[in-house]
């Protein structure tokens, strides 16, 4: 007997409330008098800010020598003052400025909603400094507050960026350059942090429609009947155990240029493992974030218009939960992907690749010039690279290099892994064209090899973000919880495409 889904979502609830509360960022030639806190970014050499009234010897006695990552709060009359170390001036980069601004913002989170950050004496271009300060501070103060009546920390409502000696128009241009990427990451974080009972596949489609209308991209939604007509056996097979309908959400941004970039995102709204049920441990609690790839793409799309992307960009978000029930796909079942390839299911917890295969085929049918997929796909990627670096695979080195360059620009690290063709035989099946699971080793590679079967000759890159999707604790501008990894990276790839 099929039961109707139990809806937890309150009337009027939106999974991305933070957009309405993003900080108002302004420029100034000096620190405004009425702010809740002031932060100075300080190097180990060069002049100290005259406003603090202390020399380096006095600061050293207090344990602060401006080494990278260090900070100190000074007891001053009026607004609290925080000094954040950047290290030697010659070694300061936009990434270290971003991290320093994040430290400043987090150190003042309990002081109030307005913050001024002063970045003086740096050899970097003023607009790049302003962009990094804006990104670091606003992303570091992010918290998912949609379900809290009384949040513990103050939201950052007003940020003033002060770069002494720089033209205010230049600072303003850096702030403007930061805003689309910040918004992209916040959207991705909000979606991934939202509990699965509040964000089903159908809710995700509704949210995409709302965001598309606000940020200039088209949205097409495909329900279960439409997916049956399209022959999307992977998405339908994973959805078979759920009372919630699946959705394929197709996003289209029309930049007017000649290039056509495709993206495919894993949108497993909650992953129980299906019949191959996951153990009830802390990892199970994180499985609401198993749609982090789809969330990153949807976040990236909110940035494309404001970044002036000239390419045409299309995306296929493959959304469902993966649940055990009497109707769930069983081990040994065979699914038929879009395009007709048959897949033996050897493990229902290797479900991400099953939904992605349909999206990849549809992308290639749409004549994209290149396709990038992003998915919280394998524990093997986490074990190999940890929680700071995503695994990158591809069949086209030029496209892989584009992704690597974008990752370096936005400080979302990737590491290219080998698409070792010798391991392909691990995916052989006695009864179908391919199996969805390889052997006990090189799991990230065999998963990538599986996906590569569905792209043909189309240039393709694959991002496995199983490690980078979530942070257990605050880490520079990456707030605890969903990190939104990939949103800024994909927006940067699209801008450069």
Q: What is the 3 state secondary structure string of 76-99?
A: CCCCCEEEEECCCHHHCCHHHHHH
Looking at the domain assignment, is residue 464 inside a domain?
Answer: yes
Looking at the domain assignment, is residue 344 inside a domain?
Answer: yes
Q: Which of 278, 341, 387, 424 is catalytic?
A: 278
The last residue of one of the domains, among 151, 178, 205, is 178
Within this chain, do residues 90 and 232 fall inside the same structural domain, yes or no? no
Rounded alpha-carbon distances, angstroms, from residue 207 to 198, 203, 243, 298? 12, 6, 20, 9
The answer to whether residue 76 scores a pLDDT higher than 90 is no
Q: What is the average pLDDT across 113-138? A: 93
Within this chain, do residues 112 and 214 fall inside the same structural domain, yes or no? no
Within this chain, do residues 246 and 298 fall inside the same structural domain, yes or no? yes
More confidently predicted of 111 and 430: 430
Provide the pLDDT confidence category of residue 178 given band limits of 50, 70 and 90: very high
- The residues pairing with 374 across neighbouring beta strands, listed in sequence order, are 265, 463
Provide the pLDDT confidence category of residue 465 given band limits of 50, 70 and 90: very high
Count how many domains the chain has: 2
The answer to whether residue 80 scores a pLDDT higher than 90 is no
278 belongs to the catalytic site: yes
Looking at the domain assignment, is residue 187 inside a domain?
Answer: no
Q: What is the average pLDDT across 470-496? A: 93
Looking at the domain assignment, is residue 474 inside a domain?
Answer: yes
Within this chain, do residues 242 and 105 fall inside the same structural domain, yes or no? no
Per-residue pLDDT at 284:
65
Looking at the domain assignment, is residue 7 inside a domain?
Answer: no
Average pLDDT value over all residues in the chain: 92
Provide the pLDDT confidence category of residue 231 given band limits of 50, 70 and 90: very high
Query: Which residues fall within 8 angstroms of residue 39, CB to CB, at 6 or more apart?
Result: 81, 82, 83, 84, 101, 104, 105, 107, 108, 115, 116, 117, 118
288 belongs to the catalytic site: no
Within this chain, do residues 146 and 212 fall inside the same structural domain, yes or no? no
Provide the pLDDT confidence category of residue 1 given band limits of 50, 70 and 90: very low
Q: Among 58-72, 246-260, 261-275, 293-307, which is the least confidently predicted range?
A: 58-72
Within this chain, do residues 246 and 135 fall inside the same structural domain, yes or no? no
Closest CA to 318 of 294, 339, 336: 294
CB of 256 closer than 8 Å to CB of 327: no
Within this chain, do residues 167 and 199 fall inside the same structural domain, yes or no? no
- Cα angle 449-452-455, degrees, rounded to a multiple of 5: 175
The answer to whether residue 135 scores a pLDDT higher than 80 is yes
Within this chain, do residues 420 and 327 fall inside the same structural domain, yes or no? yes
Looking at the domain assignment, is residue 188 inside a domain?
Answer: no
The answer to whether residue 112 scores a pLDDT higher than 90 is no
| Distance in angstroms (rounded) separating the CA atoms of residues 226 and 248 | 9
Q: What is the average pLDDT across 301-328? A: 96
The answer to whether residue 396 scores a pLDDT higher than 70 is yes
* Per-residue pLDDT tens over the stretch 3-56: 445 567 777 788 887 776 677 888 877 788 888 889 999 998 888 886 777 888
Per-residue pLDDT at 452:
98
Within this chain, do residues 101 and 200 fall inside the same structural domain, yes or no? no
More confidently predicted of 78 and 119: 119
Per-residue pLDDT at 145:
84
The percentage of the chain sitting over the pLDDT mark of 70, rounded to a whole number, equals: 96
The answer to whether residue 373 scores a pLDDT higher than 70 is yes
Within this chain, do residues 274 and 167 fall inside the same structural domain, yes or no? no
Within this chain, do residues 230 and 275 fall inside the same structural domain, yes or no? yes
* Per-residue pLDDT tens over the stretch 316-348: 999 999 999 999 999 999 999 999 999 999 999
> Domain containing 103 — which CATH number?
3.40.220.10
Within this chain, do residues 486 and 412 fall inside the same structural domain, yes or no? yes
Looking at the domain assignment, is residue 359 inside a domain?
Answer: yes
> Domain containing 288 — which CATH number?
3.40.630.10
pTM: 0.94
Which residue range is the domain that position 390 belongs to? 195-496
Q: Which of 106, 143, 266, 353 is catalytic?
A: 353
């Amino acid at each position: 007997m099929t039961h109707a889904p139990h809806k937890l979502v309150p009337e009027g609830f939106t999974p991305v409330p933070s957009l309405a509360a993003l900080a108002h960022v302004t420029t100034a030639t000096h620190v405004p008098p009425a702010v809740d806190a002031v932060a100075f970014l300080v190097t180990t050499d060069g002049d100290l800010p005259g406003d603090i009234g202390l020399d380096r010897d006095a600061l050293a006695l207090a344990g602060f020598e401006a080494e990278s990552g260090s900070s100190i709060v000074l007891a001053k009359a009026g607004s609290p003052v925080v000094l954040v170390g950047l290290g030697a001036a010659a070694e300061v980069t936009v990434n270290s400025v971003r991290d320093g601004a994040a430290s400043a913002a987090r150190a003042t989170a309990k002081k109030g909603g307005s913050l001024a950050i002063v970045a003086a004496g740096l050899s970097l271009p003023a607009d790049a400094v302003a962009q990094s300060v804006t990104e670091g501070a606003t992303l570091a103060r992010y918290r998912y507050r949609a379900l809290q009546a009384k949040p513990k920390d103050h939201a950052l409502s007003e940020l003033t960026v002060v770069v002494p000696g720089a033209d205010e128009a230049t600072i303003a241009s850096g702030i403007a350059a930061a805003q689309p990427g910040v918004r992209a990451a916040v959207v991705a974080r909000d979606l991934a942090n939202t509990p699965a009972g509040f964000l089903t596949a159908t809710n995700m489609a509704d949210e995409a429609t709302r965001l598309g209308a606000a940020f200039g991209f088209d949205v097409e939604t495909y329900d279960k009947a439409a997916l049956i007509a399209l022959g999307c056996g992977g998405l339908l097979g994973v959805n078979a155990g759920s009372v919630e309908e699946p959705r394929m959400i197709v996003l289209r941004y029309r930049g007017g240029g000649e290039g056509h970039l495709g993206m495919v995102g894993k949108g497993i709204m909650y992953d129980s493992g299906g019949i191959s049920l996951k153990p009830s441990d802390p990892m199970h609690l994180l499985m609401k974030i198993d749609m982090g790839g789809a969330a990153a793409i949807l976040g990236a799309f909110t940035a494309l218009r404001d970044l002036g992307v000239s390419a045409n960009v299309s995306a296929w978000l493959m959304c469902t939960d993966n649940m055990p029930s009497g109707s769930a796909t069983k081990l040994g079942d065979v699914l038929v992907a879009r395009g007709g390839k048959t897949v033996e299911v050897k493990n229902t917890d290797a479900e991400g690749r099953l939904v992605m295969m349909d999206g990849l085929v549809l992308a290639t049918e749409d004549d994209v010039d290149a396709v990038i997929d992003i998915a919280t796909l394998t524990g093997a990627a986490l074990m190999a690279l940890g929680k700071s670096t995503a695994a990158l695979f591809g069949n086209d080195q030029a496209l892989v290099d584009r992704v690597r360059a974008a990752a370096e620009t936005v400080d979302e690290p990737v590491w290219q892994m080998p698409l070792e063709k010798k391991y392909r035989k691990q995916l052989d099946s006695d009864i179908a064209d391919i199996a969805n699971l390889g052997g006990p080793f090189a799991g990230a590679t065999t998963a990538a090899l599986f996906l590569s079967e569905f792209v043909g000759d189309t240039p393709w890159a694959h991002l496995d973000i199983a490690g980078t999707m979530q942070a257990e604790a605050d880490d520079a501008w990456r707030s605890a919880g969903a990190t939104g990894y990939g949103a800024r990276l994909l927006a940067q790839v699209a801008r450069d495409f």
